[in-house]
Amino acid sequence: MPIYHAPVRDMLFAYYELNPGDSLRSLPGFEELDRETLGSILEEAGRFFSERLLPLNRGGDEQGCQWSEGRVTTPEGFKEAYRDFIEAGWNSIAFDPEYGGQGLPKSLNVLVDEMLCACNLSFSLYPGLTHGAWTALEEDADPDLKARFFPKMAEGIWSGSMCLTEPHCGSDLGLLRTRAEPQQDGSYRISGTKIFITAGEHDLTENIVHLVLARLPDAPTGIKGISLFVVPKILPSAEGELGEPNWIGCGSIEHKMGIKASATCVLNFDGATGWLVGEPHKGMRTMFKMMNTERLATGIQGLGIAEAAYQNAVAYAQERLQGRSPGAGDKPAEPLIVHPDVRRMLLTMRALTQGCRALAVWVAQQLDVATYASDPLQRQQAGELVALLTPVVKAFFTDTGFEVANLGVQVFGGHGYIREQGMEQLVRDARIGQIYEGTNGIQAMDLVGRKLPMAQGRLIERFLVPLREFLKAQQDERAMDEFTGPLSAAATMLEQAAETLLGRGAANPLETGAGAVDFLQLFGLTALAFQWARMAQIGLNQREGDEALFYAAKVNTARFFMRRILPRSEAHFRAINAGGDCMMDFDDRAW
């Protein structure tokens, strides 16, 4: 059975040593969060997930969700595990205490989420969708709507879902057709069909709070005519208790490549009662705010899967006796880990995973600052950094999750390809991350087409300024040269590529799309190089003491990243410079 040990030490490193976790304690409500407390929270979360949820992961994959007569049954053990999960309080970490949440930092939630996804990605999606729905309601819902739904959602006995996609419209929501008709009492009648609805129907909670995109009768066409509605599976009474079932049917569930224990539903709304969230026709604005946190969360899924794959691959490579190290002659078989290529794979997995974690913590802490800081300027600047890095985290992390899971299978060889060891499941489960919440291609377009030009091109400076400051501070440190040199080169390429794309994009918008994915990859690699250079700098100053091994491993992994992974950035840079002609000139009749 796959193993998982909560990477608490590395998380604390990222939170307090690499990033200024202690400074968050000045934010209102976060005073209690010292290193020791965060450590205990992470330990207990990791323990619960690895002991209660990890053992359900394989069975969940084999069994999948079952649909019968409009009802969805989750795999064996999910219901009990979910009950224990919400009782232990893991559902409501960052929710507003006014409604029964625990008011802890979003950045803590991110770390807990990583562990949850590592142990059981399918399971994580049920509370994950509650989060999504909560975030959307929190932005723009009336206080009475919040009062009606939030307490039960915080408690976890009501979950959430996000109903966007329709049979004929996925990435292009402007085409959506679901209708909403105003009623005398201020409510709306919602009619239409939604597909690919994660956690749209299941047996874990007594009620499901659907957030549904639909058009009002007077709506303008396209993306500017979409409104957001809250449409519960069972209508709450005035006291917030369960009332009549709403007119929502689950037509079927999808049979998928991975995350099989997550119910992906077709939902039919047949004049279901709902209430407007925010202003009419402004649904997409709310949706985008929600989508940003969801995109970060999706990136974290990739990180969680990567950590799970890495841990299992290391354990296997240390135990499995196979072959001998080169030149060892007739000695008995040695563990896989002696082989250079196995070490290449393991270090690639490690450098990508821990690098992503470092970046995730930076972004997550900035998200807390953007949300809770009292100084408006501080909030704005942090918000800009988060906005810039959100598509990078979503796409680069999920690509990484898939790459690392794939390497995990490779380390296991044939035993990775068969189902028993759970490694191939990680690949299948990781795959969806590159697709949902906006495909990684769309993320790249968001980065290049929206985030780069936004605010007169200021956003990228939020990333480059601290990077340059770091390089300047380290310029006389000879021991740092091997890290700062490659970082500086990557940053220069990133800047040049941004200029190139913006310049060419202005003349020919197709050029933006042609270079977007390479640019996002170049950005991700540079961002990880920045993290690894900083980690190396801390590691170089901690060569003595009990934890010398931990810090030396940081330095060595940083070295591996700079020498063996960062060179990928040059390939992306050259591809960007090559432009899109060779794609666009291809004769369409020849496909």
Partner 1 sequence: MKVLVCVKRVVDANVKISVKADGSGVERANLKMAMNPFDEIAVEEAVRLQESGKADETLVVSLGDKGCQETLRTALAMGIDRAILVESDTELQPLAVAKMLAAVVRREQPDLVILGKQAIDDDNNQTGQMLAALLGWGQGTFASQVTLSKNQLEVIREIDGGLETLALPLPAVVTADLRLNEPRYVKLPNIMKAKKKRLDVTCPDALGVDIQPRLEILKVEEPPVRSGGVKVADVAELVDKLRNEARVI
Which residues carry out catalysis?
Answer: 437
Q: Going residue by residue from 184 to 213, which x/- string records binding to partner 1, judged by CB under 8 A?
A: ------------------------------
Query: Least distance from C-beta 112 to partner 1, angstroms?
Result: 9
Using H for helix, E for strand and C for coil, what is the string for 422-489? CHHHHHHHHHHHHCCCCCHHHHHHHHHHHHCCHHHHCHHHHHHHHHHHHHHHCCCCHHHHHHHHHHHH
Query: Least distance from C-beta 41 to partner 1, angstroms?
Result: 6
Hey, which residues between 10 and 49 contact partner 1 (CB under 8 A)? 32, 36-37, 39-41, 43-45, 47-48
Q: Is 399:306 a contact under the CB 8 Å cutoff?
A: no
Q: Is 464:491 a contact under the CB 8 Å cutoff?
A: yes
Q: CA 330, 332, 337: angle at the middle one, nearest 5?
A: 110
Of 22, 84, 206, 477, which one interacts with partner 1 (CB under 8 A)? 84
Q: Is 177:227 a contact under the CB 8 Å cutoff?
A: no
Distance CA 256, CA 248 (A): 23
Query: Least distance from C-beta 13 to partner 1, angstroms?
Result: 12
Q: Is 194 exposed, middle or buried (0-12, 13-18, 19+ CB in 10 A)?
A: buried
Of 1, 88, 257, 418, which one interacts with partner 1 (CB under 8 A)? 88
Distance CA 2, CA 411 (A): 14
Where does this chain touch partner 1 (CB under 8 A) — which range of 85-93, 127-135, 162-170, 518-526? 85-93
96 or 482, CB closer to partner 1? Answer: 96
Query: According to the binding rule CB under 8 A, does residue 181 interact with partner 1?
Result: no
90 or 560, CB closer to partner 1? Answer: 90
Q: Is 408:349 a contact under the CB 8 Å cutoff?
A: yes
Distance CA 276, CA 519 (A): 39
Where does this chain touch partner 1 (CB under 8 A) — which range of 17-25, 58-66, 290-298, 544-552? 544-552
37 or 66, CB closer to partner 1? Answer: 37
Query: According to the binding rule CB under 8 A, does residue 52 interact with partner 1?
Result: yes
* SS3 of residue 512 by DSSP: helix
* Alpha helices, DSSP H, located in 210-329: 283-319
Where does this chain touch partner 1 (CB under 8 A) — which range of 2-10, 56-64, 136-144, 352-360? 2-10
Query: According to the binding rule CB under 8 A, does residue 357 interact with partner 1?
Result: no
Of 29, 77, 89, 243, which one interacts with partner 1 (CB under 8 A)? 89
Count of residues near partner 1 by CB under 8 A:
27
Query: According to the binding rule CB under 8 A, does residue 102 interact with partner 1?
Result: yes
372 or 483, CB closer to partner 1? Answer: 372
Where does this chain touch partner 1 (CB under 8 A) — which range of 11-19, 54-62, 190-198, 545-553? 545-553
Query: Least distance from C-beta 580 to partner 1, angstroms?
Result: 50
141 or 153, CB closer to partner 1? Answer: 153
Kind of pairing between the strands at 248-253 and 66-68? unpaired
Residue 71: φ, ψ to 5° = -110, 145
Residue 366: partners with Cβ closer than 8 Å, 6 or more residues away: 382, 385, 386
E-only strand ranges, 93-173: 158-163
Residue 318 neighbours by CB distance under 10 Å: 11
Query: Least distance from C-beta 531 to partner 1, angstroms?
Result: 22
Q: Which of 432, 435, 434 lies closest to 122, judged by CA?
A: 432
Query: Least distance from C-beta 32 to partner 1, angstroms?
Result: 6
6 or 360, CB closer to partner 1? Answer: 6
Q: Is 411:421 a contact under the CB 8 Å cutoff?
A: no
25 or 428, CB closer to partner 1? Answer: 25
Residue 324: partners with Cβ closer than 8 Å, 6 or more residues away: 331, 333, 334, 338
Query: According to the binding rule CB under 8 A, does residue 95 interact with partner 1?
Result: no
Q: Is 365 exposed, middle or buried (0-12, 13-18, 19+ CB in 10 A)?
A: buried
88 or 418, CB closer to partner 1? Answer: 88
Query: Least distance from C-beta 40 to partner 1, angstroms?
Result: 5
Residue that has been written with the tokens 């402007």 in this structure: 174
Residue that has been written with the tokens 């509650």 in this structure: 130
Of 62, 80, 87, 341, which one interacts with partner 1 (CB under 8 A)? 87
Kind of pairing between the strands at 179-182 and 207-214? unpaired
Query: According to the binding rule CB under 8 A, does residue 550 interact with partner 1?
Result: yes
* SS3 of residue 181 by DSSP: strand
Distance CA 407, CA 354 (A): 15
Residue 69: partners with Cβ closer than 8 Å, 6 or more residues away: none
Q: Which of 327, 297, 375 lies closest to 127, judged by CA?
A: 297
26 or 40, CB closer to partner 1? Answer: 40
Query: Least distance from C-beta 198 to partner 1, angstroms?
Result: 24
Query: Least distance from C-beta 550 to partner 1, angstroms?
Result: 6
Where does this chain touch partner 1 (CB under 8 A) — which range of 89-97, 122-130, 262-270, 294-302? 89-97
Q: Going residue by residue from 214 to 253, which x/- string records binding to partner 1, judged by CB under 8 A?
A: ----------------------------------------
88 or 147, CB closer to partner 1? Answer: 88
Query: Least distance from C-beta 435 to partner 1, angstroms?
Result: 32
Query: According to the binding rule CB under 8 A, does residue 144 interact with partner 1?
Result: no
Q: Is 582 exposed, middle or buried (0-12, 13-18, 19+ CB in 10 A)?
A: exposed
Residue that has been written with the tokens 């002659």 in this structure: 329
Query: Least distance from C-beta 322 to partner 1, angstroms?
Result: 16
45 or 231, CB closer to partner 1? Answer: 45
Query: According to the binding rule CB under 8 A, does residue 5 interact with partner 1?
Result: yes
Of 546, 585, 587, 588, which one interacts with partner 1 (CB under 8 A)? 546
Q: Given the rule CB under 8 A, which residues bind partner 1?
A: 5, 8-9, 32, 36-37, 39-41, 43-45, 47-48, 51-52, 84, 87-90, 93, 102, 546-547, 549-550
